[in-house]
Structure 1
């Protein structure tokens, strides 16, 4: 048709100037950006979260922050598909989380005490180990951040899942030519070698459960420390777009959270109270200690992450005698340990009902001062771990203080 210009979809008609950033489309974009919620939540919920987490406030539940309350800027979301936020927003947000991380202390301590009570009720063996540097378990977990950190589902404390500990221990036991020293049924040291171990019985098969139970490792007393780290994939177009790797691609740093210099408590229990399962528990515990020191656990172990060293010579609480009970000499030490194991198997309610006079009688029956001190330490420790106030049993509490001065 003469005298008329035809325009196709997506094409600007000749003679018509392009829309300026301040034109209609620019105004719409500016309006949309001004109404973009700081959190991907309904407006009312986003406003409440913003009030709760504003003014340098920190949510004590880290899991909610990492999986529910992620700012829009961190996710690089914008109404304009051609505009993305800087990775610095993610780094600043995670840095603030790491520096301000402080879980509810009463909740964390209570969770740790319940873990101790539960595992000891099942006659578990325990040890404590500290991270050499950093640890990240669950780095490749399902998260919108594309990096994750394994946390307790309810308490949001960093944990090491029991399934991961079991897999690590089995892998170490199957691949290494190991030899460990563990106590036998009489408490005497005995050498165990790989050739003597039945790994299928110890760890189980598809048809039968193993003879030992691995529990999640918990931060000691619920206390953990977080640090920020960064990794930089040098070929982002190769990983995301399928292009061949080449040195002209622009690397983008990715920040993520790690657990650093934190002491964890580990526990393994026999599946049944039989002597065979108890012996397997001691063996699994020794193998786990070596695996944590030699193999490490979690992601990036090749970069030095996830290695542990066992905590030794820890000062006892409440001014107790720092001498190692195992090194004391005297009669009745095995009797004292047997009595301590009986007390450790009680629930907190059962221990609460056990009167101070009965425990005073047990201390008085020990045949040597060394046995009395050993049992006194264990009584104090068991009450503390199970959350039972020993001071309410005043006569027993004062007597233990005298013994351990």
Structure 2
């Protein structure tokens, strides 16, 4: 009996033309009842490469989409993007509905694998509850868990986007790979009974039941975002997710080593040069003894005035300068106010 729609019977799909793997998997299987047919079909799907360009000199269609998606995440959504590499194999969506006994999460438009944002969020939340201590419990008074992940009534601060497959990053330049699991003692685990109504025991003469499935490899773009001012929570979510991917893995068959991932492009720690400049001035000004303040404070005040650092950092230094001048008494304060640098310092306080 054919599992394929009659309307598709006359359509000849050619793997070399790189059809949509998801469309092929869900709509084009000819016979879902025969074990060998299912295995052969899974092998066919695993051979499909990611969508290519229409012309030799064009950028491949999926790469164009991926580049646009990454740009949107970074420039419009202000997301923190990091790439994670599958260490062995990964299978996300194994238990979803499909024509095979197994399934795999594939992008509906491009047929490439991806990791749903809900799966990433669920993994991060579970890891936080199990391994991050009492402060990350759902009922903790500190509320860390609710802030990051939210509740049934309120959204959390951190958004977990779908992780798309990075073009051409799979093993042997392929994202999909044929895999197989072998179930032993199928009748025993399914609770089947013999003619007398007794449960069948696991026995050495039971035939193994090989089940074909499709696993994935490659790199995936992990993207998280949070509102302005919530950078600390965003970073905490990234740290927890990184540990969860490395230690627990994502998707199915993690106990067999599937789903382990490693972040491969951790962002460099950016140094805020404006903040560093202001901090250095503050330390210098704090170290000036009161007796030497009239002669030395002007030097650092002029350095601040001539600098191009951001107004918020100028204000920090200006506040310290004014604070130090007021502690020397009214007479000395008036002398400072007569200095040419004092008026610009006061203006900085209003910025």
Partner residue in 2 for 1:182 = none
Task: Work out which of the residue numbers 102, 106, 110 in structure 2 matches 1:151.
Answer: 106
For 1:256-335, what aligned pairs fall within 5 Å after superposition?
Answer: 256-260=213-217, 262-270=218-226, 272-273=227-228, 275=229, 277-312=230-265
Distance 1:210 1:228, change over 3 A: same
Q: Does structure 2 conserve the Cα–Cα contact (< 8 Å) formed by 1:233 and 1:253?
A: yes
CA distance in 1, matches of 2:276, 2:95: 47
CA distance in 2, matches of 1:112, 1:195: 41
Partner residue in 1 for 2:207 = 250
Q: Does structure 1 conserve the Cα–Cα contact (< 8 Å) formed by 2:164 and 2:220?
A: yes
Q: Report SS of the residue matched to 2:167.
A: helix
Q: Report SS of the residue matched to 2:159.
A: strand
Could you report, residue by residue, the CA deviation over 1:239-265 in whole angstroms, capped at 9, with x for unpaired residues?
A: 5562334213222211111002x0111
Distance 1:100 1:202, change over 3 A: closer
Deviating more after overlay: 151-160 vs 130-139: 151-160
CA distance in 2, matches of 1:330, 1:45: 60
Q: Does structure 2 conserve the Cα–Cα contact (< 8 Å) formed by 1:161 and 1:217?
A: yes
Q: Does structure 2 conserve the Cα–Cα contact (< 8 Å) formed by 1:135 and 1:258?
A: yes
Distance 1:207 1:326, change over 3 A: closer
Q: Does structure 1 conserve the Cα–Cα contact (< 8 Å) formed by 2:18 and 2:48?
A: no
Distance 1:102 1:146, change over 3 A: same
CA distance in 2, matches of 1:45, 1:130: 37
Could you report, residue by residue, the CA deviation over 1:101-147 in whole angstroms, capped at 9, with x for unpaired residues?
A: 33235221122123212322111111111111000001011112110
Are 2:10 and 1:60 equivalent residues in the alignment? no
Partner residue in 1 for 2:81 = 126
Q: Does structure 1 conserve the Cα–Cα contact (< 8 Å) formed by 2:29 and 2:99?
A: no
Post-superposition shift, 1:228?
1.6
CA distance in 1, matches of 2:128, 2:264: 22
Post-superposition shift, 1:303?
0.2
For 1:112-191, what aligned pairs fall within 5 Å after superposition?
Answer: 112-120=66-74, 121-177=76-132
Are 2:168 and 1:215 equivalent residues in the alignment? no
Post-superposition shift, 1:178?
6.5
Post-superposition shift, 1:52?
3.0
For 1:100-119, what aligned pairs fall within 5 Å after superposition?
Answer: 100-104=48-52, 106-119=60-73
Partner residue in 2 for 1:198 = 144
Post-superposition shift, 1:293?
0.6
Are 2:21 and 1:71 equivalent residues in the alignment? no
Post-superposition shift, 1:95?
2.0
CA distance in 2, matches of 1:233, 1:70: 23
Q: Does structure 1 conserve the Cα–Cα contact (< 8 Å) formed by 2:106 and 2:113?
A: yes
Distance 1:366 1:145, change over 3 A: farther
Aligned residues: 257
Q: Report SS of the residue matched to 2:114.
A: coil
TM-score, normalization: structure 1?
0.57
Q: Does structure 1 conserve the Cα–Cα contact (< 8 Å) formed by 2:79 and 2:224?
A: yes
CA distance in 1, matches of 2:27, 2:129: 40
Partner residue in 1 for 2:42 = 94
Could you report, residue by residue, the CA deviation over 1:169-193 in whole angstroms, capped at 9, with x for unpaired residues?
A: 01111111369xxxxxxxxxxxxxx
Q: Does structure 1 conserve the Cα–Cα contact (< 8 Å) formed by 2:166 and 2:220?
A: yes
Q: Report SS of the residue matched to 1:265.
A: strand
Distance 1:107 1:333, change over 3 A: farther
